[in-house]
Amino acid sequence: MSTNNQTLEKSFKQRDVLAMAFGTMIGWGWIMLSGQWAASAGMLGAILAYVVGAVLCVFVGLVYAELTPAIPYTGGSVVFSYKSMGYWPAVIAGLATAFAYLGVAAWEGPAFATALNYIVPIPEIGHLWTVQGADVWVTVCLVSVVVSVIITIVNYFGAKQAAVFQTIATVGLIIVGILFLTGGVAFGDMEYTKPLLTDFKGFTVVLLMVPAMFVGFDVIPQSAGEMDVPLKQIPKILIISICMAAAWYMLMIFATCVSAPTEVRTNGVIPVADAMAYAFGNPIWGKICIVGAMCGILTSWNGFLYGGARVLFSLANAKMLPGFLAKVHPKYHTPSNAVLFCGALSTFSCLLGAGALTWFVNASSFGVVIVYLMVTLSFIFLRVRQPELERPYKIKHAKLVGAVSIGVVCFFAYLYLPMGPSPLAPIEWVLVCGWFALGLILALYARAKNRNVSPLERERLLFAEQN
């Protein structure tokens, strides 16, 4: 049986990695949800939720910071879990990671169409169905599908092209964010920020969404096999990206609240755009804001499609998923079939429309929690079982970091479970269980088909030099 290791091209510089992580994290959520966060928890409550979320994510980030340069191979959570715990934990980690990424990518298409409709109204032709009170139209779906295909093509033709695309879109997003913050401070009113706090339930509603808003820094481990970056620089990039995203979310919440009264922020189609137009006193500024929003959608969409394809490639390349996902394009050196598979899922989700946004955000957030659990367990197991492993970056107080990271995971898991304050809805559990059921069936098929692949061969496929 052939077990040739297929390799990806090392084309990511330090700037590319930071843009991929930061752009993926900040994405589009703040444009649509900042007004909702402030309404639920108050301005200060929403900011505090992100302070808490950022601190908790930094602990998990420290775990990634040690593991990524120590095991610098494409797949991130997959290779961490395999090296520390073995075959099936690696499968679970990989499926959870792919679900987290693709769950967020799934609503980028409808989000893009919503943003474009704010600038240039899209004719509502050909009613398909209604999802959570939101009508789905053929014309709107067509816009989403076209952009999904373009994002897929960009990733198909090369990681470097995806990185350049990401950097340009991230810069555009940052420029608009700075304009929004400046306008809010110059033309807004602190009276608009009241009430500063609501109640604990409102705080937890915001905190519940934090994992989905911060997912993205772990794209860095997924791309480790394609980085042309010194190993010791990886932890720094990882932690900086988390801190940058946290600062961004808090500043945007403040800017949204100070720019316009509550009724403007909560009743508009796109809260941040409406707030920016109100602050500047001209609707054209709302449209400028949407240009930045579209950049954010593209950075997030591109990053999650990229990361999802890499983790599925890693599993398939190690014969842990069907082999068609392991194909590397002979010319472009990308995981072409994995990219097409992820692109197909993203394109199909466009048919659900904007009404499915909260389904995908909440379900993918639960997937993030599973990923954090598997990576933290990998960190603990490797410290105990392989203390001699070379670690270019070794965190201090490992027991404390490991314990706090486990606590973070348990806390977030409690929020999503039926006994928690903001449990997942039945349809969200269907998405979670359906994905893992399908993934485990494919994993069992691959296991049966590749029963002759020895553990040594599989380790070579996962950990051999990927350049």
- State the CATH number of the domain containing residue 252: 1.20.1740.10
What pLDDT score does 466 carry? 46
For residues 380 and 89, is the Cβ–Cβ distance under 8 A?
no
CB atoms near residue 286 (< 10 Å): 22
Considering the domain boundaries, does residue 7 fall inside one? no
Q: Answer whether residue 467 is part of any domain.
A: no
Taking CA atoms, 176 is separated from 163, 288, 294, in Å, by 20, 7, 11
**Residue 126: CB atoms within 10 Å:** 12
Radius of gyration of the chain (CA): 21
Q: Name the residue among 99, 14, 72, 36 with its Cα closest to residue 265.
A: 36
2 domain residue, yes or no: no
The answer to whether 328 touches 7, Cβ cutoff 8 Å, is yes
Q: Is 127 left (phi over 0), alpha (psi -120 to 50) or beta?
A: beta
- Is residue 462 situated within a structural domain? no
How confident is the model over 76-100, as a mean pLDDT? 92
Q: Which is nearest to 464 in space by CA: 84, 8, 16?
A: 8
Closest CA to 459 of 86, 10, 142: 86
| Confidence category of residue 160, pLDDT binned at 50, 70, 90 | low
| Burial annotation 288-323 (CB, 10 A radius, 16+ → b, else e) | bbbbbbbbbbbbbbbbbbbbbbbbbbbbbbbbbbbe
Residues 6+ apart with CB under 8 A from 41: 48, 49, 197, 198, 202, 203, 205, 206
What's the CA gap between 26 and 252, in Å, rounded?
10
In this predicted structure, which of 3-7, 166-170, 350-354 has the lowest mean pLDDT? 3-7
* Residues forming beta bridges with residue 135, ordered by sequence position: 130
The DSSP call for residue 420 is S
Choice between 370 and 162, residue whose per-residue pLDDT is larger: 370
DSSP string covering 58-112, please? HHHHHHHHHHHHHS-STTTHHHHHHHHH-HHHHHHHHHHHHHHHHHHHTTHHHHH
Burial of 394 (0-12, 13-18, 19+ CB in 10 A): middle
Per-residue model confidence (pLDDT) at position 5: 47
Residues of the chain with pLDDT > 90, as a percent, come to: 24
CA atoms within 13 A on the CB side of 161: 12
Residue 5 lies in a domain: no
Query: 391 near 79, Cβ under 8 Å?
Result: no
Span 347-360, average pLDDT: 86
Return d(Cα 246, Cα 136) in angstroms, integer. Answer: 33
**Is 463 within a domain?**
no
For the chain, the maximum distance between any two Cα atoms, rounded to a whole number of angstroms, is 70
For residue 376, what pLDDT is reported?
Answer: 93
Q: Which pLDDT does position 139 carry in this prediction? A: 94
Residue 432 is predicted with a pLDDT of 94
Please give the Cα distance from 349 to 136 (Å, whole number): 12
Q: Which residues pair with 130 in a beta bridge?
A: 135
Q: What is the pLDDT of residues 374-420, one digit of tens each?
A: 999 999 999 999 998 898 888 888 889 899 889 888 888 887 888 87
Identity of the amino acid at 71:
I
From 212, 104, 245, 226, select the one nearest 155 (Cα to Cα): 226
Task: Give 438's contacts (C-beta < 8 A, 6+ positions apart).
Answer: none
51-60, 232-241, 302-311: least confidently modelled range: 232-241
Nearest 5°: the CA angle 274, 354, 41 is 55
24-58 pLDDT, tens digit each:
777 777 777 788 888 888 899 999 999 988 888 88
- Looking at residue 1, its pLDDT comes to 44
Task: Say if residues 290 and 28 touch (Cβ distance below 8 Å).
Answer: no
What are the φ/ψ torsions at residue 127 (nearest 5 degrees)?
-65, 125
Q: Which residues are registered as beta bridge partners of 134?
A: 131
Q: What is the pLDDT of residue 95?
A: 95
DSSP string, 304-335: HHHHHHHHHHHHHHTTSS-GGGG---TTT-S-
Full-prediction pTM beyond 0.95? no
Domain ranges, residue 399:
14-448
Answer yes or no: is 211 within a domain.
Answer: yes
Q: Is residue 81 part of a domain?
A: yes
pLDDT band per the 50, 70, 90 thresholds, residue 294: confident
From CA 134, how far away is CA 136, in angstroms rounded? Answer: 6
User: What does the pLDDT read at residue 377?
Assistant: 95
For the ranges 52-61, 141-150, 277-286, the lowest mean pLDDT is seen at 52-61
Interval 131-144: pLDDT, tens: 888 888 999 999 99
The pLDDT score that the predictor gives to residue 162 is 65
Residue 367 CB-half CA count within 13 A: 35
Are the C-beta atoms of residues 80 and 233 closer than 8 Å to each other? no
**Pairwise CA distance, residues 96 & 222, whole Å:** 13
User: Residues 93, 78: contact at Cβ < 8 Å?
Assistant: yes
- How many structural domains comprise the chain? 1
Q: What is the pLDDT of residues 111-120, one digit of tens each?
A: 888 888 888 8
Rounded CA separation 432/360 (Å) = 10
Q: What is the pLDDT of residue 227?
A: 63
Highest mean pLDDT among 278-292, 300-314, 436-450: 436-450
Tokens of 257: 């609240």
Of 145 and 361, the structure prediction assigns the larger pLDDT to 145
